[in-house]
Amino acid sequence: MGLRAYVVRRVLQLIVTFWAFFTILFVLFRMMPGDPTSMFIMDGMTPEQREQRIAELGLNEPLHVQYVEYARQLLRGDFGQSFIYRDPVIDIIAVRFMNTIVLMGTALLFAYLIGITFGAIMGWWRDSRFERGGIIVTLVARSSPEFWVGIVLLSVFVFWLGWFPSSGMRTTGGELGGNFAARYGSVDFLRHLFLPALTGAIAYLATPTLLMRSTMLDVLNADFIEIKKAEGLPERTVLFKHAARNSVLPLVTVMAIATGSAMGGSVVIETVFNWPGMGREMVNAVNNNDYPLAMAAFFLMGSVVIIMNFVADLAYVYLDPRVEYE
């Protein structure tokens, strides 16, 4: 199979996956207990008004009609209206989505930077005390659930040392900048970002570190490393320029898996730090039976994971000419 055929096949697969994911989403949320109007009953809604509301939402239609209608809405980027906020879901979720991407993107970036460096050095100094200690540290980091890392950081750096603000994304009453740079570039924002991003970085550090270490071990056995050493290049040059660069490739594939766990992790980390992101919004929405909002959040998280899987597969065949398309 050539590259073109592979890409076509992979795109078809992407579409099927999306459709299946959408169907799971639809079935799950139609099974949800408590109907969406239960939140309004407290407002003194009469049974007639309730019927009317259900009709408005299209919930009295047969299921297959609802399914097609919902699919059509999604394709238009219309997620419906939030029951709680009474605003279009898309307006609420778009901001939250950006906040989550900024937070988890930073966390993953840190995790990969630290993991690659650390893993490369661990592979280079094989059997050293540094390597053994490094493995233990990595395994301990991997063993800690995100919320636990968050709580420890919170206790040490906020409650004890008082270096960072405890929660939220910016100090209340702080300037809300209009453009992207002003929103996400201010010192106040970065101070709020640091701890939650560090939490994510610690939680996701293990996979790149251990993988980098083991591919380094493979690469270091290769002949060209011996040649580079024989050429008399300084150790640092051989390590970072030749060995490490050739070990980075497999990390591309686990990037997709890392993004997947980061999407799940955002739920927990955002709850610990009160970060106004998609994950925390989803937990609140589920607790409040706010289906449209919860569905949209879930859909976006799944989409990120599915698309990242797709990108990782394509990047891999593009980056490594030796890969055969199965």
CB of 274 to another protein, least distance (A): 11
Q: Which of 108, 263, 293, 296 binds another protein (CB under 8 A)?
A: 263
Please identify, using beta-carbon distances, which residue of 147 and 184 lies nearer to another protein.
Answer: 147
CB nearer another protein, residue 125 or residue 180: 125
Q: How many other C-beta atoms can be found within 10 angstroms of the C-beta atom of residue 93?
A: 23
Q: Which residues pair with 88 in a beta bridge?
A: 81
Of 271, 222, 264, residue with least CA distance to 243 = 222
Alpha helix stretches (DSSP H) within 144-290: 146-153, 180-185, 187-204, 206-220, 223-230, 235-237, 245-247, 249-273, 278-287
Instruction: Give whole-number Cα distances, 279 to 83, 200, 238, 302, in Å.
Output: 18, 13, 42, 12
Structure tokens at 297: 């959040």
Instruction: Give yes or no for residue 249 binding another protein (CB under 8 A).
Output: no
Whether the Cβ atoms of residue 123 and residue 214 lie closer than 8 Å to each other: yes
User: What would the two tokens of residue 276 be?
Assistant: 């106004």
Number of residues in contact with another protein under rule CB under 8 A? 51
Task: Output 16 or 113, the one with its CB closest to another protein.
Answer: 16
Binding residues for another protein restricted to 6-25, rule: CB under 8 A: 13, 16-17, 20-21, 24
Binders of another protein among residues 118 to 177 (CB under 8 A) are 126-127, 135-136, 139-140, 142-148, 151-152, 154-155, 159
Binding site for another protein (CB under 8 A): 13, 16-17, 20-21, 24, 28-29, 31-33, 126-127, 135-136, 139-140, 142-148, 151-152, 154-155, 159, 214, 260-261, 263-265, 267-268, 271, 279, 282-283, 286-287, 294, 297-298, 301-302, 305-306, 309
